[in-house]
A and B are shown apart, each in its own frame.
Chain A
Amino acid sequence: QKEVEQNSGPLSVPEGAIASLNCTYSDRGSQSFFWYRQYSGKSPELIMFIYSNGDKEDGRFTAQLNKASQYVSLLIRDSQPSDSATYLCAVKNSGGYNKLIFGAGTRLAVHP
């Protein structure tokens, strides 16, 4: 069974700090990785995707991928209370179809 693992949290950080969210995956052939943000009672919203080893930055968000370690992370700089949500890591499987495997999510709480 191909799996995606995340720490469930809650991860509590003060406003203005860097929040670091981590995800590991078991399918060594995976090529595409996604981070979604989900507010309570709402649907997931795509915030970042990464395909290559290294860092990818978009505003306050940085996705980091290390395929050798099967590890992907999301950094949120200058965290705001509005960033408080559950962050879902998703990995496209190595099979032919465009299926995503989702982690259970990490709950982030940013306190003023």
Chain B
Amino acid sequence: DGGITQSPKYLFRKEGQNVTLSCEQNLNHDAMYWYRQDPGQGLRLIYYSQIVNDFQKGDIAEGYSVSREKKESFPLTVTSAQKNPTAFYLCASNPGQGGQPQHFGDGTRLSIL
């Protein structure tokens, strides 16, 4: 059953702590994306990766970091430099060619303790 798996579903961060959100896909997609959604707002792009070992900053990359060591995995670290991390984080993927649709995981909701 192909899809995108995000974990955990809920995450709490303490002051000064880094936390990592997991995103795994078994769709054999080349491209993967991380978005942030705040209440009542659209999705904003944090980072994206078109291919293994390569990634690019999106519109709001400050305070976040990513890696893409495997095709299937694109973890996002929310660092202590991100002062307002409370949001709904969404991972997406697509084959990467042309304008094909992106499909989303179920999301991780991050809150500050």
The yes or no verdict on A and B being binding partners is yes
Where the two chains meet, the residues of A that have a C-beta atom closer than 8 Å to any C-beta of B are 4, 8, 31-32, 34, 42-46, 49, 51, 88, 90, 92, 97-100, 102-105
Determine whether the beta carbon of A42 is less than 8 Å from that of B106: yes
- Size of interface on B: residues with Cβ below 8 Å to A: 27
Instruction: Please report whether the interface of chain A is mostly helix, strand, loop or mixed according to DSSP.
Output: loop
- In the bound complex, residues from chain A placing their C-beta under 8 Å from that of B40 are 8, 104
24 A-B residue pairs with CB within 8 Å: A32-B98, A32-B99, A32-B100, A34-B101, A34-B102, A43-B104, A43-B105, A44-B90, A46-B103, A51-B99, A88-B42, A90-B102, A92-B99, A97-B48, A98-B31, A98-B97, A98-B98, A99-B45, A99-B58, A100-B43, A100-B45, A100-B102, A102-B44, A104-B40
Distance in angstroms from B27 CB to nearest chain A CB is: 13
- In the bound complex, residues from chain A placing their C-beta under 8 Å from that of B31 are 98
Choice from A90, A98, A99 contacting B100 with Cβ under 8 Å: A98
* In the complex, B63 has a CB within 8 A of chain A: no
- Give the CA-CA distance A51 to B104 in the complex, in Å: 20
Where the two chains meet, the residues of B that have a C-beta atom closer than 8 Å to any C-beta of A are 31, 33, 35, 40-45, 48, 50, 56, 58, 90, 94, 96-107
- In the bound complex, residues from chain A placing their C-beta under 8 Å from that of B98 are 32, 98
- Give the CA-CA distance A108 to B98 in the complex, in Å: 30
- In the bound complex, residues from chain B placing their C-beta under 8 Å from that of A42 are 106-107
Determine whether the beta carbon of A102 is less than 8 Å from that of B100: no
Choice from A34, A43, A97, A102 contacting B107 with Cβ under 8 Å: A43
Known: A43-B105, A102-B44. 9 other contacts (CB 8 A): A44-B43, A44-B104, A51-B99, A98-B50, A98-B94, A98-B97, A98-B99, A99-B48, A105-B42
